[in-house]
Structure 1
């Protein structure tokens, strides 16, 4: 067992955790989820989910990590509950799963930065996306992105992750604020603000069964919950730090970045008469370039925008990779650089189908957000709320003066509101995957073949 690293500063931990949360979940996934589920109606449910579910849940993961001071799998055994190691393992697997297609999208972003410099996507953004998003070029870009992420993680917690994220997070904020200020000046931008910020409650009630799992799943995804990231990062945290303040800071900053991304995307779209309703990755990779192509400074704006997306993607990718590397470092006597390379190589191979066909990427994302993430968070909440309850309250109180009543209130919110909210989201998400009409749980390459031969859902 090697000596564990720690964060050099408290700010380093907060920036690293924010960097994990402020990733493609906010810049890539949030705009198209918002557009798909009714604009401001989705934003309203998402914000409620962050406050009532996301913040208490992030503290639950913090408790496990700092209490054990160990990786996300072995932490449960050290806390006296070895049978619960499967929860940590499932979280690590989920991060492994997500990073396999996350890296593919990161590769797309690299290509779009080059395209912004050359203006390659301005003529026909949809065709450009088709050439960038699939095939051998996408596979090569996927490999390059993974290589960068592996290189950062290989340098360790202080020299790699902490140093990188303390530069990345402020850069994301500065660049987003700059482009958001420019968006205000565009004629017609007010329609974009209205779409994004004026909720139609009827749109929520009419589509509640779909909006709830989508919003809760987005809250979990954007806060890096269910990947065991926050358990791993908290394992490097000292006992004198206030977990409550840290959790609120991370959740608040992350949510603010998500809203800021919407304040960039939707004014750009509406100002140029581009529909925001393009589902899936097209909301960023087709619709945004279509809007940028009509602006006199479109190339510069495109470069800045996709640079933001790249930085956000890398900040999250290194956190997902660190979860797996942390477990390997704690249990095997190999150098971190070697372990990071091995882990990155396996993740690259898992991402090959997503790089060759976007249908596979959509399947990986749908299974992760509707099944894996809420399942892991649900099990973590059960463990912290009912198995580790007394120790959890004591851990939340560490680094604070008093706070007994707040700690107990947090525990009961975990036991009730969070448990019910995540449980409902999990049930609705599984239903979305398992309905006879979609059979989405089946991989796209096998779905038609299986449905022709076996009655669904009897399979």
Structure 2
């Protein structure tokens, strides 16, 4: 078996992890989830959740990956707990399941780049989405998106994923900054900023029970937790740099991109008098596309916006493909390129029902985000907090200048606070599954 790859630079690892976290959820789901739960009120709770709960959780996954230096499944056995390998297997399966339909949504984004350039959706954005979101065209673009993922992952860690994300992540930030600056020139944009940044604390307290579970769920999902991605990426770290510093940087950058997306989306919607709380299956595409149809230079702005969404989608998708690819390479004597290709073909086939019918995509999405992901995150936290315990504490403090008090606080946060938060999210997800609430089409990744 060939020597295992590592990141060429520390910055490469950080940008790859940020790329994994920064996906469709940051550009699409975060702004529209914010709208669904009252604008700035949701933003306040989300920020608390992502730093108070998401950061401890991402460190837990990093601990497993760097300490074991193996894929998300084999890592548990290498740490001496083979009976816990099922946790890694669940994460691997969850990532595979999600990427199968995530690729379909990625195909939609490719179509919307072309639709923006030609103005194809300007006449009736709702009818346009209905025409392109399912059928043979959706299948073809699903194949294109999956091919792009396979190509990048097949090149390897240093030459493929690291080099790609070093271009992708800065590009996402630069383009969003440009779009946000453009938003300030739109008449009526001020109302969008007020909605996004001025919380109504009275309304927040009266709806806190509804807001908290979704804010916590969005924090986990937007950080790409529970899919084996962060365990796998951390396994390629060659050295003992501070996981706390790296994890904090990743969480800050990921959150910054999500908030920056809000500074793009809300001015665009309010400038055109579009109600931001009209989300539903596919409405995130319909609403923003409708805004582009009526603003100056709408075609150019639409192309740029959907381009950044495509880059974000790809940066997340390659991390999910790498999770499964890494497992095969670590355990079987096969090459990276054929492995990535074979897995990509399997993902394409699994995604066909979602490409032919958005109802299937909604079902796949609901099962993943209401059940598979919360269970996977919960089991990782239980393992790190209550099984690995002292070993996890020792690993998280390597390379850190923080005192032992920080490590102890982190461990007990994982053991109690974060686990309880995930249990609450899981309970809500199970309730949604059995009560038959309408699933969201665009996945919060």
Give the TM-score normalised by structure 1.
0.93
Counterpart for residue 164 of structure 1: 164
Counterpart for residue 133 of structure 2: 133
Match of 2:158, SS state, is helix
Counterpart for residue 265 of structure 2: 265
Change (3 A) 1:211 1:402: closer
Greater mean alpha carbon deviation, residues 351-360 or residues 203-212: 203-212
Counterpart for residue 319 of structure 2: 319
| Aligned-residue offset at 1:439 | 6.9
Unmatched runs of 5 consecutive residues or more in structure 1: 442-459
Within 5 Å, which residues of 2 pair with 1:34-433? 34-401=34-401, 403-433=403-433
Counterpart for residue 454 of structure 1: none
> Is the CA contact 1:147–1:344 (under 8 Å) kept in the aligned structure 2?
yes
Counterpart for residue 452 of structure 1: none
Counterpart for residue 29 of structure 2: 29
Aligned mates of 2:74, 2:210 — CA distance in 1? 36
| Aligned-residue offset at 1:38 | 2.1
Aligned mates of 2:139, 2:116 — CA distance in 1? 20
> Is the CA contact 1:32–1:283 (under 8 Å) kept in the aligned structure 2?
no
Change (3 A) 1:393 1:92: same
> Is the CA contact 1:65–1:235 (under 8 Å) kept in the aligned structure 2?
yes
> Is the CA contact 1:2–1:329 (under 8 Å) kept in the aligned structure 2?
no
Q: Deviations over 1:80-109 (max 9, x none)?
A: 111111110101111111111111110001
| Aligned-residue offset at 1:20 | 0.4
Aligned mates of 2:41, 2:320 — CA distance in 1? 30
> Is the CA contact 2:245–2:400 (under 8 Å) kept in the aligned structure 1?
no
Match of 2:279, SS state, is coil
> Is the CA contact 1:7–1:158 (under 8 Å) kept in the aligned structure 2?
yes
| Aligned-residue offset at 1:299 | 0.5
Match of 1:126, SS state, is helix
Aligned mates of 2:260, 2:171 — CA distance in 1? 14
| Aligned-residue offset at 1:409 | 1.2
Greater mean alpha carbon deviation, residues 13-22 or residues 406-415: 406-415
Aligned mates of 1:146, 1:129 — CA distance in 2? 21
Match of 1:286, SS state, is helix
Counterpart for residue 447 of structure 1: none
Match of 2:6, SS state, is coil
Greater mean alpha carbon deviation, residues 27-36 or residues 125-134: 27-36
Unmatched runs of 5 consecutive residues or more in structure 2: 440-445
Greater mean alpha carbon deviation, residues 352-361 or residues 50-59: 352-361
| Aligned-residue offset at 1:205 | 4.6
Change (3 A) 1:255 1:118: same
Greater mean alpha carbon deviation, residues 176-185 or residues 115-124: 115-124
Q: Deviations over 1:27-58 (max 9, x none)?
A: 12212222222222222222121011100000
Aligned mates of 1:192, 1:440 — CA distance in 2? 27
| Aligned-residue offset at 1:428 | 1.8
Aligned mates of 1:154, 1:252 — CA distance in 2? 29
> Is the CA contact 1:241–1:399 (under 8 Å) kept in the aligned structure 2?
yes
Greater mean alpha carbon deviation, residues 61-70 or residues 204-213: 204-213
Change (3 A) 1:262 1:375: same
Aligned mates of 1:393, 1:374 — CA distance in 2? 23
Q: Deviations over 1:232-281 (max 9, x none)?
A: 00000123211000000000000010000011001100001111122235
Q: Across the two proteins, how many residue pairs are aligned to each other?
A: 439
| Aligned-residue offset at 1:203 | 4.2
Q: Deviations over 1:312-344 (max 9, x none)?
A: 000000001000000000011111111101111
> Is the CA contact 1:32–1:279 (under 8 Å) kept in the aligned structure 2?
yes
Change (3 A) 1:55 1:257: same
Greater mean alpha carbon deviation, residues 412-421 or residues 142-151: 412-421
Match of 1:139, SS state, is helix
Aligned mates of 1:50, 1:368 — CA distance in 2? 20
Counterpart for residue 18 of structure 2: 18
| Aligned-residue offset at 1:147 | 0.5
